[in-house]
């Protein structure tokens, strides 16, 4: 009996040791998978973070130069940038994101010749769209007055909007070039071009504003020059041998299948536009409050800082879109799901870091943009809301990246309409005016809309059948492809 009990104990011990070793091996395998996936994500996200920070910094530098010219100059260039360039930026960026679906899946499926065709189709579609919305710039002052902006601010912002027309067309070529390179993991090229453009932008800003004394006009012209400069650099890289497998020169095939391409681009445009415009609406609503100039200045500083930090999760949006599209194009649905999980975890950790950083520097970060004590105090009062905005915005772009990589743009566009414009904006207006909470109330309501949207996208992602998504990706490539 004693011998049997001893044998049982030995068997139990062996079983426990075997179970422990098996668990350790699983943890090691999981850790290795996370590490390998993180390297793939950061290969896209690292250069993308640098690029987006540089591009956004050019806008911030322009606003900083305008802010030191005066409060009206800062408010007018902020309104012009938020409403008209923001509208154009969101629409064209969104439409160019169709390339993240098609180029990403084509690259995963090794149909390299199609990437150049898709980019040319995107140029055609974006150029037509940019031309169609051009009248908005010429009637900018009237539109702003209709939204309740003070006449002086509306007129000045309208003039600045017209000055931004060259930038309007630079984006037509720049955004597709960025997506084209990104989907074939050539983000480092884009990062180098953006770094050079930033150096040029700093020099041109100093030259136009301080040396040539061109004032607000010179400030606006610096953005036009710098964004065109970046677009030309990327175009030269692609055209002169940088992408031999994916760029075969201009082709008449780009004009085939434009209608189907337009529909996917429009769905992508609507989806990302609704996101891009959302917090810009906050600036327009703030212009209707008492002391609108101070409210707009303070809010624009907070949203500029938020936008600056948002470049990091937006880079993971790009990386997630590429990874999901590549894996679905290659038929690996489960790998696409795993990439999503790793990206969400990484971006959330970074979001918490910036949440605590904003809390710590609540009364200091406004000094970057203004020396006005009134504006600095107003920013201090909004800093807590800014910190809480960063948290959901660390998760939501990753989920949007999954949507772009999977081709869910149409479905997510409906989610954005409901969450943002049927919940967020009305609740914000209700809190801001009916409950007299001002900017804090408007902003709180709009954060609520973001949270609702994030929850719905999480449910969509968790319930997805990734093997079916891989099959859909194959069908989509057949639909949009041409014969080799």
Q: Is residue 17 part of a domain?
A: no
pTM confidence score? 0.76
The answer to whether residues 397 and 340 touch, using CB atoms and an 8 Å cutoff, is no
Question: What span, in angstroms and rounded, lies between the C-alpha atoms of 417 and 398?
Answer: 18
- Compute how many other C-beta atoms are within 10 angstroms of the C-beta atom of residue 210: 11
Report phi then psi at 421, rounded to 5. -100, -15
List the structure tokens of 178: 């960025």
Round to whole Å and give the CA distance between 66 and 220.
9
CA distance 406 to 133: 29
Domain ranges, residue 230: 44-480
What was the pLDDT predicted at 255?
87
> How many other CB atoms sit within 10 Å of the CB of residue 29?
10
List, for residues 386-403, the tens digit of each pLDDT value: 888 888 888 888 998 888
For residue 125, is it within any domain?
yes
Tens of pLDDT, residues 128-171: 988 998 888 888 888 878 877 778 878 888 888 888 889 889 99
Angle between helices 151-163 and 292-329 (to 10 degrees): 40
Backbone φ and ψ for 110, nearest 5 degrees, come out as: 65, 30
Kindly state whether residue 35 falls inside one of the protein's structural domains: no
DSSP letters, 264-315, are HHHHHHHHHHHHHHHHHHHHHHHTTSTTHHHHHHHHHHHHHHHHHHHHHHHH
pLDDT at 168 (0 to 100)? 86
> How many domains does the chain fold into?
1
Domain-located, residue 32: no
337 Cβ partners below 8 Å, 6+ apart?
464, 466
Closest among 304, 258, 253, 278 to 423, alpha carbons compared: 278
**Residue 215 within a domain:** yes
pLDDT at 18: 55
Q: Which residues of 328-363 are buried (b: 16+ CB within 10 A; e: fewer)?
A: bbbebbebbbbbbebbbebbbebbeebbeebeeebe
What confidence score (pLDDT) does residue 484 get? 43
In a domain, 14, yes or no: no
Q: Kindly state whether residue 147 falls inside one of the protein's structural domains.
A: yes
Has residue 383 been placed in a domain?
A: yes
Q: What is the pLDDT of residues 238-266, one digit of tens each?
A: 999 888 989 988 888 888 878 888 887 88
Could you say which residues of the chain have pLDDT below 70?
Answer: 1-28, 68, 82-87, 276, 279-280, 282-284, 286-295, 479-484
């Amino acid at each position: 009996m004693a011998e049997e009990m001893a044998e049982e104990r030995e068997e139990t011990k062996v079983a426990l040791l075997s179970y422990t070793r098996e668990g350790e091996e699983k943890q090691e395998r999981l850790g290795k998978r996370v590490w390998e996936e993180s390297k793939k994500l950061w290969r896209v996200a690292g250069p993308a973070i640098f690029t987006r920070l540089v591009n956004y910094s050019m806008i911030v530098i322009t606003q900083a130069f305008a802010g030191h010219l005066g409060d009206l100059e800062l408010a007018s260039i902020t309104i012009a940038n938020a409403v008209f360039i923001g509208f154009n930026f969101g629409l064209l960026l969104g439409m160019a994101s169709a390339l993240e679906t098609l180029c990403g899946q084509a690259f995963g499926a090794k149909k390299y010749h199609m990437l150049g065709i898709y980019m040319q189709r995107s140029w055609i579609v974006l150029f037509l769209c940019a031309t169609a919305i051009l009248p908005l710039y010429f009637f900018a002052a009237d539109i702003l007055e209709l939204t309740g902006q003070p006449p002086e601010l509306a007129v000045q912002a309208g003039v600045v909007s017209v000055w931004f027309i060259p930038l309007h067309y630079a984006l037509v070529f720049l955004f597709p070039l960025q997506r084209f390179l990104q989907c074939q993991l050539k983000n480092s090229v884009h990062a180098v071009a953006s770094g050079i453009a930033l150096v040029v932008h700093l020099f041109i800003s100093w030259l136009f504003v301080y040396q040539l004394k061109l004032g607000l006009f010179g400030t606006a012209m610096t953005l036009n020059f710098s964004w065109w400069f970046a677009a030309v650099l990327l175009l030269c890289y692609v055209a002169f041998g940088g992408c031999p497998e994916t760029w075969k020169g201009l082709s008449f095939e780009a004009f085939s299948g434009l209608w189907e391409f337009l529909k996917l681009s429009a769905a992508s445009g609507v989806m990302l536009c609704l996101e891009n415009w959302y917090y810009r609406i906050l600036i327009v609503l703030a212009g209707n409050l008492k002391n609108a100039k101070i409210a707009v200045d303070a809010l624009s500083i907070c949203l500029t800082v938020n936008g600056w930090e948002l470049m990091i999760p937006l880079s993971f949006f790009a990386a997630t879109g590429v990874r999901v599209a590549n894996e679905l194009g290659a038929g690996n649905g489960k790998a696409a799901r795993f990439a999503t999980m790793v990206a969400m975890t990484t971006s959330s950790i970074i979001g918490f870091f910036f949440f605590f950083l904003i809390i710590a520097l609540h009364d200091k970060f406004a000094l970057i943009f203004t020396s006005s004590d009134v504006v600095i105090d107003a920013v201090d009062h909004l800093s807590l809301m800014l910190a809480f905005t960063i948290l959901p915005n660390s998760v939501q772009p990753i989920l949007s990246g999954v949507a772009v990589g999977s081709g869910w743009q149409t479905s997510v566009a409906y989610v954005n309409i409901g969450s943002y414009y049927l919940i967020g904006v009305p609740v914000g207006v209700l809190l801001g005016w009916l409950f007299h909470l001002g900017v804090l109330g408007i902003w709180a309501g709009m954060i609520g809309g973001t949270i609702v949207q994030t929850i719905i996208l999480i449910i969509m992602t968790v319930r997805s059948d990734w093997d079916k998504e891989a099959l859909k990706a194959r069908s989509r490539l057949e639909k949009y492809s041409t014969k080799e």
